[in-house]
């Protein structure tokens, strides 16, 4: 695939211009090799649709969510204050992110510290593009005859009541969408949230990600669709441990990009 060039906010500011959206990449999307593929897929979609966007690049730092969830409020407020100063310095109004953890904290918790932005998760952003007719996928495409099951991220679903947007995006792929035994408000956590991904497991009979992976595989789906990089880590591990090479674990942005032959 051709290389794409992603501009920074600093480059836009140097020209006296403002992008339509700031793409907040997040720590996982920046540094985790698997999550980087999600970042690239979403950037390709934005570029393909000629949406004027930018990233902060080296000016973006961790949003502080893991620190706050782990109980280090002082560190969280330091991180948040730094990010808010950068965002407000560029007069950012609209942010899109592919990470529910970034989405939740930027939209709901930065307000208390002076960070007021319109924050959109990429599943909702993609659904809006579909509703506007800007994303059109031909019937009988790459996913015709496939079964897809979608896992609800805790921070997207229960925390922010976003259940339908990801499913609406998946519906245009011309595949069969099958639900897990526990879904939507009753969906089971992947085991990574609340900074759990960074700590050793606690005593118990089974890892949460194994339990959830088994539920996904029980649907008979060929593809486990996700909308969170933390969920991606857990499900990728779970599916690999089950030796299920016949099952793909993909983010919804990757699925749309694949359907559009962008990756």
Could you tell me if 38 and 94 lie in one domain? Answer: yes
- Assigned domain for 232 exists: yes
Q: What is the pLDDT of residue 141?
A: 73
Q: How far apart are CA 97 and CA 159, in angstroms?
A: 16
Could you tell me if 116 and 193 lie in one domain? Answer: no
Number of structural domains in the chain: 2
Return the CATH number at 22: 3.40.50.1860
Residue 32 contacts by C-beta under 8 Å, 6 or more apart in sequence?
229, 233
Q: What is the pLDDT of residue 31?
A: 95
Q: Cα 152 vs. chain centroid, distance in angstroms?
A: 11
- Assigned domain for 193 exists: yes
Q: What is the pLDDT of residue 201?
A: 73
Could you tell me if 231 and 168 lie in one domain? Answer: yes
Could you tell me if 147 and 213 lie in one domain? Answer: yes
Q: How far apart are CA 239 and CA 243, in angstroms?
A: 6
Residue 252: both structure tokens together: 């919804």
Return the CATH number at 185: 3.40.50
Classify strands 147-150 and 94-97 as parallel, antiparallel or unpaired.
Answer: unpaired
Could you tell me if 66 and 33 lie in one domain? Answer: yes
∠ Cα 18 22 28 (to 5°): 155
- Assigned domain for 243 exists: yes
- Assigned domain for 3 exists: no
Which residue range(s) make up the domain with 27?
Answer: 9-127
pTM: 0.93
Specify which residues 53 forms β-bridges with: 21
Task: Round to the nearest angstrom and report the end-to-end CA distance of the chain.
Answer: 7
Residue 9: both structure tokens together: 């906010």
Of 101, 127, 153, the residue that ends a domain is 127
Residue 170: both structure tokens together: 């998946």
Q: What is the pLDDT of residue 253?
A: 97
- Assigned domain for 160 exists: yes
Residue 18: both structure tokens together: 């403002």
Q: How far apart are CA 71 and CA 82, in angstroms?
A: 19
Q: What is the pLDDT of residue 261?
A: 81
Q: Would the CA dihedral through 29, 161, 250, 206 be positive or negative? A: positive
21-78 pLDDT, tens per residue? 999 999 999 999 999 999 999 999 999 999 999 999 999 999 999 999 889 999 999 9
**Residue 55 per-residue DSSP state:** B
∠ Cα 184 98 108 (to 5°): 70
Residue ranges in the chain whose pLDDT is less than 50: none
């Amino acid at each position: 695939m051709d290389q794409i060039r992603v501009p920074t906010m600093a480059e836009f500011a140097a020209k006296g211009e403002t992008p339509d959206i700031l793409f907040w990449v997040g720590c996982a999307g920046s540094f985790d090799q698997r999550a980087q593929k999600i970042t690239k897929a979403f950037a390709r979609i934005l570029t393909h649709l000629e949406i004027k966007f930018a990233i902060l690049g080296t000016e973006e730092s961790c949003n502080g969510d893991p620190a706050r969830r782990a109980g280090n409020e002082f560190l969280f407020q330091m991180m948040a204050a730094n990010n808010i100063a950068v965002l407000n310095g560029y007069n950012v109004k609209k942010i899109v992110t592919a990470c529910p953890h970034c989405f939740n904290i930027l939209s709901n918790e930065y307000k208390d510290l002076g960070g007021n932005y319109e924050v959109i998760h990429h599943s909702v952003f993609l659904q809006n593009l579909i509703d506007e007719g800007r994303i059109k996928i031909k019937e009988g495409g790459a996913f015709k005859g496939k079964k897809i099951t979608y896992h609800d991220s805790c921070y997207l679903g229960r925390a922010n009541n976003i259940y339908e947007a990801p499913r609406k995006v998946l519906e245009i792929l011309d595949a069969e969408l099958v639900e897990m035994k526990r879904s939507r408000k009753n969906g089971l956590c992947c085991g990574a949230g609340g900074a759990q991904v960074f700590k050793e497991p606690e005593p118990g009979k089974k890892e949460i990600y194994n339990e959830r992976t088994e539920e996904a595989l029980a649907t008979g789906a060929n593809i486990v669709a996700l909308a969170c990089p933390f969920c991606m880590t857990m499900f990728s591990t779970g599916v690999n441990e089950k030796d299920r090479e016949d099952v793909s674990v993909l983010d919804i942005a990757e699925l749309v990009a694949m359907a559009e032959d962008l990756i």
